[in-house]
Homo-oligomer: A and B are copies of this chain.
Amino acid sequence: MPSEFDLIHRYFTRPAKHADLAVGDDAALFRVAPGMQLAVTTDTLAAGTHFFHDTSPYDLGWKTLAVNLSDLAAMGAAPRWATLALTLPTADECWIAAFAEGFFDCAGRYGVDIVGGDTTRGPLAMTVTLLGEVPAGQAITRAGGQPGDDLWISGWPGLAALGLMCLQNRIQLTDSSRALTALHRPIPRVEAGETLRGIAHAMLDVSDGLAGDLAHLCKCSKLGALLDADALPLVPLIAAGADESLACQALLAGGDDYELLFSASPGARDLLAALARKLNLPFTRIGQFTEETSILLVDGSEAPPRPLDVRSYDHFAPPD
C-alpha gap A72/B118 in the complex (Å) = 15
Interface residues of A in 113-128 (CB under 8 A from B): 115-123, 125, 127
Say if the beta carbon of A223 comes within 8 Å of chain B.
no
Say if the beta carbon of A94 comes within 8 Å of chain B.
no
Q: Which of chain B's residues have a CB closer than 8 A to the CB of A31?
A: 37-38, 136
C-alpha gap A159/B256 in the complex (Å) = 46
Complex partner residue of A317 from B3, B34, B142, CB under 8 angstroms: B3
Q: Which of A40-48, A147-155, A268-276, A290-298 lies at the binding interface?
A: A40-48
CB–CB A125/B316 < 8 A: no
Q: A157-172 CB contact bits vs B (8 Å, 1 = yes)?
A: 0000000000000000
C-alpha gap A93/B215 in the complex (Å) = 25
CB–CB B26/A205 < 8 A: yes
C-alpha gap A116/B72 in the complex (Å) = 12
C-alpha gap A315/B129 in the complex (Å) = 22
Stoichiometry (number of copies): 2
Q: Which of A80-88, A102-110, A236-244 lies at the binding interface?
A: A80-88
Known: A49-B122, A85-B127, A127-B127. A26 touches B4 (CB 8 A): no
Q: Which of chain B's residues have a CB closer than 8 A to the CB of A48?
A: 122
Known: A26-B75, A74-B27. A129 touches B129 (CB 8 A): yes
Known: A1-B316, A5-B314, A40-B83. A122 touches B26 (CB 8 A): no
CB–CB B26/A41 < 8 A: yes
Complex partner residue of A44 from B27, B118, B142, CB under 8 angstroms: B118
Complex partner residue of A49 from B39, B42, B47, B120, CB under 8 angstroms: B120
Interface residues of A in 277-320 (CB under 8 A from B): 314-318
CB–CB A42/B119 < 8 A: no
Interface residues of A in 25-77 (CB under 8 A from B): 25-32, 34, 37-50, 71-72, 74-75, 77
Residue of B nearest to A2 (CB): B316
Q: How large is the interface on A (under 10, 10 to 19, 20 to 34, 35 or more residues)?
A: 35 or more
Say if the beta carbon of A24 comes within 8 Å of chain B.
yes
CB–CB B122/A47 < 8 A: yes
Say if the beta carbon of A186 comes within 8 Å of chain B.
no
C-alpha gap A41/B316 in the complex (Å) = 29
Complex partner residue of A120 from B81, B119, B143, B315, CB under 8 angstroms: B315
Q: Which of chain B's residues have a CB closer than 8 A to the CB of A43?
A: 85, 118
Q: Which of chain B's residues have a CB closer than 8 A to the CB of A24?
A: 142, 220
State the 3 A-B residue pairs at the shortest beta-carbon distance, nearest first: A46-B122, A129-B129, A26-B74
Can you report 18 residue pairs joining A to B where beta carbons are below 8 Å apart? A1-B317, A4-B314, A21-B141, A25-B142, A26-B71, A26-B142, A27-B39, A27-B71, A29-B139, A31-B38, A31-B136, A42-B83, A42-B118, A44-B87, A83-B129, A85-B127, A85-B129, A118-B127
Besides A1-B317, A26-B72, A123-B125, 14 other A-B contacts (C-beta < 8 A): A3-B316, A26-B75, A26-B203, A27-B39, A27-B132, A28-B41, A30-B38, A40-B83, A42-B117, A43-B85, A46-B120, A49-B122, A119-B316, A122-B125
